[in-house]
Amino acid sequence: MKRIVSVFAVLALMITLAVPASAVSKPAAPKLKSVSNTSRGITIKWSAVKNAEKYLVFRKAPTVKYKKIAAVKTVSFTHKSAVSGNKYTYKIYAVNSKGKSKPSNEKSITRVGTPAVKTENTASAIKISWGKTKKATSYVLLYKKTSAKKFRVLYRGANLSYLYDNLELGTEYNFKVRAVIGKLRGAYSTVKSQFFLSRPTISAREPENMRGIEVGWSPVKHADGYIIYRSLKSQNSYKRITKVLSSAAHYLDTDVKSINTYKYYVVAYGSGYKSAKSNVASEIYGYFESLSVPLTLTIKKGEVYKDIYNKLNDYGATVLITWKSLTPKVAKVTKQGVITGVSKGTATLKATIDPDAFALIGREEIKEAKTVTIIVTVQ
C-alpha cells in the first residue's frame, strides 16, 4: 500500500514539473465596479483579477485623451487631483509578468468638490462657514446635537455661511456641508463640532490706591477660563497677556506705565472651544500722577499747603476736582485743594476727578469719575 502511495506522489510531482512557466497567461480584464465622489476626490473601485500583480488606472477628460494616473496593487484608487465641475472617464488594466490585460469597462462621473468647513462662536450664535466649491450652484448644511443620532437639514442655498442661534447652553452641536452642481451632489465634509460659549462683557478701571488696571468681566456659563488680550492705544494689534481659570472674574494688570491708554478684550474658553471676543474696554493709567497729585504728604501743624492747588491751577483743573477730608480735626482741605494742618496726626483726604478734567488739559477724556486717597501726616 505504501508503495502505491509513493508511486502516485512521484507521478504528481512529475506532472507539476512538466507544466512550463509559460502556462501562466496574461490576466483577464478587471470589472470596473464604481466611481464616486468622496471628500478626498473621486474614488474608483474594481474587481480583483487572478494572477494580477498590479493595476493601471487610466482617466480621460472631455478635452484630454486617456492618460495613466496610477499603478497600484489594491483594487481601489482615489483621484485626489480631480477638479470640481470636470467630467472624468476611467478604465482599469490588470498587469503581470506576461503583459497587460484588455481594458475594463468604462465609467464616467463629474467631480463635485467637498468644501472645507469652519465653526466659531459669535456674540449670540454659532457661525458655520465653508469655502467656495468650483462650479457649485448650492450647498446643503446639516446639523445635530452631538447626543442625537440623525442629522437634519439646517440650510440649503448659495451662501457660504450660516448663523445658527437656536441654541441650548451646555450643548455641543455637529455640522457638515456638501456642495451641489445642478442635480449632482458631492460628498459631505468632515463633521465639525462646536460648543456655544456666550461672549463676556468687560470693564476696565484703575483701582483706588492700587498700582495697575483692573479688568473685570461677567461670568460665562460652562467656561473653563478666560484669556485676556491687551493693546496700547498707539498700537493696532492685541497681545495675549494672561490666562485665568473660571473662578476668576477680574484681573489686575500691573505691567502698566503712567499716562498710557490701555485697551483690553477677553475671550472665554472651554472644552476646546472659544467664545467670541468681548467688547473692548479702555483705561488711562496714572491720571492723578499726570495732574501732579501726590498720594502721601507731610506738612506741619498750622501750615497752609498750596503746591497741589498751584499745579492744578496751572492746568485749569482746580474746579474739576472735588476734595474732602475724612479727618478734618487733623487736616482740612478747601474745594480748590488747599490743605491746612490742624493738629498732629494722620489725615485721610479724598480727591475725585471729573471726566471732563482730561479734556480741559489736552488729554483723552475719561469715561467716569475717578477717586484717589491722599494720606497727610501733620507734624
Domain containing 362 — which CATH number?
Answer: 2.60.40.1080
Domain containing 214 — which CATH number?
Answer: 2.60.40.10
In a domain, residue 7? The reply is no
C-alpha span between 118 and 288 (Å, rounded): 47
Length of the chain: 379
pLDDT score for 234:
65
pLDDT score for 259:
63
Picking from 77, 110, 143, the residue at the C-terminal end of a domain is 110
C-alpha cell at 149: 443620532
Domain count, the chain: 4
In a domain, residue 1? The reply is no
Picking from 74, 90, 110, the residue at the C-terminal end of a domain is 110
Residues 292 and 371 in one domain: yes
In a domain, residue 12? The reply is no
pLDDT score for 93:
97
Q: Regarding beta strands 370-378 and 296-299, do their DSSP bridges make them parallel or antiparallel, or are they unpaired?
A: parallel
C-alpha span between 166 and 38 (Å, rounded): 31
pLDDT score for 352:
79
Residues 276 and 299 in one domain: no
Burial (Cβ within 10 Å: 0-12, 13-18, ≥19) of residue 293: buried
Picking from 165, 195, 225, the residue at the C-terminal end of a domain is 195
In a domain, residue 183? The reply is yes
CA distances (Å), origin 246, targets 107, 243, 284, 355, 360: 58, 10, 27, 33, 41
Sign of CA dihedral 33, 35, 38, 43: positive
pLDDT score for 309:
79
In a domain, residue 366? The reply is yes
Residues 136 and 173 in one domain: yes
Which residues in the chain land under pLDDT 50? 2, 5, 7-8, 10-11, 13, 15-19, 21, 360-366
**Helix/strand/coil (H/E/C) assignment for every residue in 204-236:** EECCCCCCCEEEEECCCCCCCEEEEEEEECCCC
- Backbone φ and ψ of 157, nearest 5°: 165, -175
Residues 175 and 189 in one domain: yes
In a domain, residue 242? The reply is yes
Residues 138 and 183 in one domain: yes
pLDDT score for 297:
86
C-alpha span between 109 and 279 (Å, rounded): 50
User: Which has the closest alpha carbon to 349: 369, 363, 330?
Assistant: 330
The whole domain housing 319 covers 288-378
C-alpha span between 140 and 197 (Å, rounded): 25
Is residue 258 within 8 Å of residue 289, measured between CB atoms? yes
pLDDT score for 295:
74
